[in-house]
């Protein structure tokens, strides 16, 4: 028996945060919170399998999806570039069609976002974006779950993003536009987020500001978050980026401009002494370990909704 095809059951994908309506997104967060606290014990993935394609390496993404699928009663199957014919030039549509006959969902972590879009176009099963160079929706959903765990409803809160306008910044912009919280993005010139995400935020009247001064961004923020200055694939730019981002380090002095109750987030791995000081990431305002754990819970909720037909 092959996995259910799109003709038999219309399926949904999670390529970006806005793939769910705002109401569905908050329902997803509520489901993840029930999973986090142990209030949800169903196993909606019993007898189902997730294929995990990793064109980029990972610690948190692999472990959280693998463990999460298992906890929901399913199985997860790791495929590296050496394990899939994609790494040897097989067309994405062929891989999509074949895996759709074997498994009930695919999580992919890769470089080009268009590859994920194409995979979703030709697969007859749900596709989950585990990360692309354009967006990182699972991580930002985990971050929002963490904000709500510590500070309550994210609506009405102010989030400050400090540093590179990378895939994380793009997904934060999309989340703020979609869910209705304030976002202040502080980036050096030449490292702005993707223009399409900024344009959508402006068109929809979202409370999203692009700034150059990190102190201005952090002023009275409820959440301060950052990422490494050079992501995977940018290692050769490390020295150039270290100069560009020198004034964008999150240290105790910068955190002092935020609310006293502010929390610090980092998607990890972190480079202490570069984008954040040890004083902050290992300090009392840091909730990065809860944030890392919450990848498990939000991704379980996503899999339950997409693969397990759990209503939102």
pTM: 0.95
Of 98-112, 142-156, 157-171, 218-232, the least confident: 218-232
pLDDT tens, position by position, 21-37? 999 999 999 999 999 99
pLDDT of 5: 39
Domains in the chain, ordered, with CATH?
17-136+294-307 (3.40.50.1370), 139-291 (3.40.50.1370)
195: left (phi over 0), alpha (psi -120 to 50) or beta: alpha
**DSSP one-letter string for 242-303:** HHHTGGG-B-HHHHTTS-TT-EEEE-S---BTTTB-HHHHTSTTB-HHHHHHHHHHHHHHHH
Whether residue 283 has pLDDT greater than 70: yes
30 known member of a binding site: no
Vertex 103 angle, CA 102 and 104, to 5°:
140
209 known member of a binding site: no
In whole angstroms, give the CA distance from residue 54 to residue 78.
7
Which sequence positions are flagged as catalytic? 109, 136, 139, 227, 267, 295
58 known member of a binding site: yes
Whether residue 289 has pLDDT greater than 50: yes
CA 140 remoteness from chain centre: 4
pLDDT of 87: 60
pLDDT tens, position by position, 224-234? 999 999 876 66
**34-37 contact pairs (CB < 8 A, 24+):** 35/297, 35/300, 35/301, 36/145, 36/149, 36/293, 36/294, 36/297
Report the 10 Å Cβ neighbour count for 26: 18
In whole angstroms, give the CA distance from residue 130 to residue 116.
10
């Amino acid at each position: 028996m092959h996995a259910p095809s799109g003709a038999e059951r219309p399926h949904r994908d999670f390529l970006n945060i806005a793939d769910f309506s705002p109401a569905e997104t908050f329902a997803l967060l509520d489901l993840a919170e029930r999973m986090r606290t142990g209030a949800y014990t169903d196993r909606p993935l019993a007898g189902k399998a997730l294929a995990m394609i990793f064109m980029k390496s990972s610690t948190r993404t692999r472990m959280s999806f693998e463990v999460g699928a298992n906890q929901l009663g399913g199985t997860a199957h790791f495929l590296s570039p050496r394990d899939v014919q994609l790494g040897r030039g097989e067309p994405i549509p062929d891989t999509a069609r074949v895996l759709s006959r074997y498994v009930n969902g695919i999580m992919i972590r890769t470089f080009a976002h268009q590859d994920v879009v194409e995979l979703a176009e030709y697969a007859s099963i749900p596709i989950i974006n585990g990360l692309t160079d354009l967006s990182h929706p699972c991580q930002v959903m985990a971050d929002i779950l963490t904000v709500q765990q510590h500070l309550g409803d994210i609506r009405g809160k102010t989030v400050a993003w400090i540093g590179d306008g990378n895939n994380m910044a793009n997904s934060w912009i999309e989340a703020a536009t979609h869910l209705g919280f304030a976002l202040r993005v502080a980036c050096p010139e030449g490292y702005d987020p993707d223009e399409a995400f900024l344009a959508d935020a402006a068109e929809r009247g979202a409370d999203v500001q692009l700034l150059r001064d990190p102190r201005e961004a952090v002023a009275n923020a409820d959440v301060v978050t950052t990422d490494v200055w050079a992501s995977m694939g940018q290692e050769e730019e490390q020295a150039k980026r270290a100069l560009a981002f020198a004034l964008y380090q999150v240290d105790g002095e910068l955190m002092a401009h935020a609310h006293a109750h502010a929390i610090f987030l980092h998607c990890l791995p972190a480079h202490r002494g570069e984008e954040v000081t040890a004083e902050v990431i290992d300090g009392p305002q840091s909730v990065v370990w809860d944030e890392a754990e919450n990848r498990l819970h939000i991704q379980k909720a996503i899999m339950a909704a997409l693969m397990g037909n759990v209503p939102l």
